[in-house]
Structure 1
Amino acid sequence: MSRTGRALLLVLAACLGLARAGAEPPAARVSVFRAATDDEFRDLMLAAARDQPSFVMKLLLSGVDPNQADAQRNTALHKAIMEESERVVKLLIEHPQTDVNALNQAGETPVMLAALRGRLPWVQALVRRGALINEAGFTALHYACSGPDNGVAAWLVSQGAELDARSPNGSTPLMMAAGYGSPDAVEVLLQAGANASLVNDKGLSALDFARQSGRPELMRRIQAALSEPYPY
C-alpha cells in the first residue's frame, strides 16, 4: 500500500475511533480483502447509496472488498456515483484498493457514470486514479455527450478522448450530443474536428439524431459543419 493510501486510512480510522495512537488501522495491514457476508454487502451498498462514508469505511477497515459487485455487477463506487453520494464517491476514489475501471453488467465504468451526470471533478479524480477514457465500444465521451455535460466533454477531449469513437452500433459521441446531450457538447466536438458525416449501423447521422429529437438549432449547426471541408 502506498504512503498516501496508508495516511488516508489512518486519518479515516482515527475519525472513526478505530486507530490507537501510533498504530496502523486494520485495513493498512490487509493485503487481500475478503468477500463480505450477505449482511455486510447489503450494508455496504446501502451506505454507498445513502452517502454514509463512516459506515463504508468501517466495513473496509474490517477487510471487506471494496470491489465486490451485486447481481448487476455494480460495485459500491458504481452505486455511489449513480446515487450521487458525494462523500462516499470521494472516499472510494481515494481508497487505494478501489478498482476505478470495474465494469458493470451494462459495460459501464465509474468514469462513464460520472460523465453522464456531468460531474467534472469526479471524472478528473477518476482519470487521475487511472480510469480509462478510450475503451472499445461506448466511451466516457459518449456518456458525457448524453447528459448535462458541464464541461466534461471539453475536458475529456483535452485529455485525448477519441472524437469519433464508435459504440457497439456505430454511434459516435456527436450523435449522442445531437440527440440527447447539451448543445455545448455539440459545439465542443465540432470545433475539435468531429466528423459530422459519419453514420451508425442504422444509417443515422448526427443530423438525423438532432432531427429525430426536434432540435432545429443543432440541425442548423450540424448542417453548416457538413458544408465545411473536413477536418473542420
Structure 2
Amino acid sequence: MNRRSFLSTSLCATVALNVQAGAHDDFFVAIHRDDGQGLQTLLRRGMDPNTSNDKGQTGLVLALQLGSLHAFQALVNAPRVNVEVRNAHGESPLMMAALKGYLEPAHLLIARGADVNKTGWTPLHYAASKDQPAQEQMVALLLEHHAYIDAASPNGTTPLMMAAQYGSMAVLQLLLDEGADPLLKNQLGLRAVDFAARAQRPDSITLLQAAIRQRLPNQGQW
C-alpha cells in the first residue's frame, strides 16, 4: 500500500469512528431529553437499541430511570431490542419499571419476554420496596405472571422483607394474603418483622406478628 492509499484508508477509518461516537452520544442525549422521534431516527440508521454508556447503563433502563417514557417506547418497539439486557448493576428494564411503578411499561416488557423471575434481586423485590400508589398493582401484576413470592436475593432478603421496611401497608398485606412466608430469615437471621422494627413501622410490625401467630399458633409471645 502506497502512502496516499494508507492516508486515505486511515482518514476513512477515523471518520467512521467519529460518526459512530457521535451517534452513540446522540443516542443517550435523546434518552435524557425524552426525544422519542430522535431515537427512532437513530434506530432506523442502524443504532443498536441495546447500547450501553461508559458507566454500563443501558438505554431501556436509563429511560425508565429518568422517566423518559417516549424514549422508552421508541426503544422497546425497536425490532432488535433485547428486553433482558442489564446494566452494570445487574438491573433489568423490568426491575426499573417495577421500582418506578410504571405499569404500562411493565406490561410491555413482560409481553416481550422480560424475565419476571431473574436470579438474584428480582422485579418483585424492587416493586415491594417503594411506597407509592401504583406499587400494589405492580406487585399484583408480577404475581399474576408467576413471580416467585419468596424469592431470595443474594443475601437472602425476600420481597416481604423489602415491603416491611420500605413498602406500603397495602403491598405488605397483599404479599401476606398471597402466601409470602413471614418466618423466612435472611443471612443475618432477620425476618420481615425485624425489618419493620428496624424501620420503626409499628403498623407493619403488628401485621407481621399476626401473620407469624397464624403460622405458629402455639408460640406464646407471637
Q: 2:67 aligns with which of 79, 84, 91?
A: 84
In structure 2, the gaps of 5 or more residues are: 1-18, 217-222
Deviation at 1:181, TM superposition (A): 1.4
Residue deviations 1:150-181, cap 9 Å, x none? 51001111111001000010000000111111
Deviation at 1:91, TM superposition (A): 1.8
Match of 2:181 in 1: 195
Structure 2 residue 122 is the aligned partner of structure 1 residue 139: yes
Q: 2:86 aligns with which of 75, 94, 103?
A: 103
Match of 1:55 in 2: 38
Query: Across the two proteins, how many residue pairs are aligned to each other?
Result: 197
Indicate the percent of aligned positions where both proteins have the same amino acid. 38
In structure 1, the gaps of 5 or more residues are: 1-35
In the alignment, the residues of structure 1 paired with residue 110 and residue 148 of structure 2 have an alpha-carbon distance, to the nearest angstrom, of: 15
Deviation at 1:70, TM superposition (A): 1.5
Instruction: Give the TM-score, by structure 2 length.
Output: 0.85
Residue deviations 1:159-206, cap 9 Å, x none? 110010000100000001111112211111100000001110111110
Deviation at 1:73, TM superposition (A): 2.1
* Structure that is richer in helix per residue: 2
Match of 1:123 in 2: 106
- Partner SS for 1:228: helix
Structure 2 residue 139 is the aligned partner of structure 1 residue 156: no
Larger-Rg structure:
2
In the alignment, the residues of structure 2 paired with residue 94 and residue 63 of structure 1 have an alpha-carbon distance, to the nearest angstrom, of: 14
Residue deviations 1:9-64, cap 9 Å, x none? xxxxxxxxxxxxxxxxxxxxxxxxxxx72221111111112110111111111111
Q: Is the 8 A contact 2:83 2:113 kept in 1?
A: yes
Alignment of 1:161-172 (within 5 A): 161-172=147-158
Alignment of 1:30-49 (within 5 A): 37-49=20-32
Report the aligned-residue RMSD.
1.7
Deviation at 1:72, TM superposition (A): 2.9
- Runs of 4+ in structure 1 deviating by more than 2 angstroms, as ranges, are none
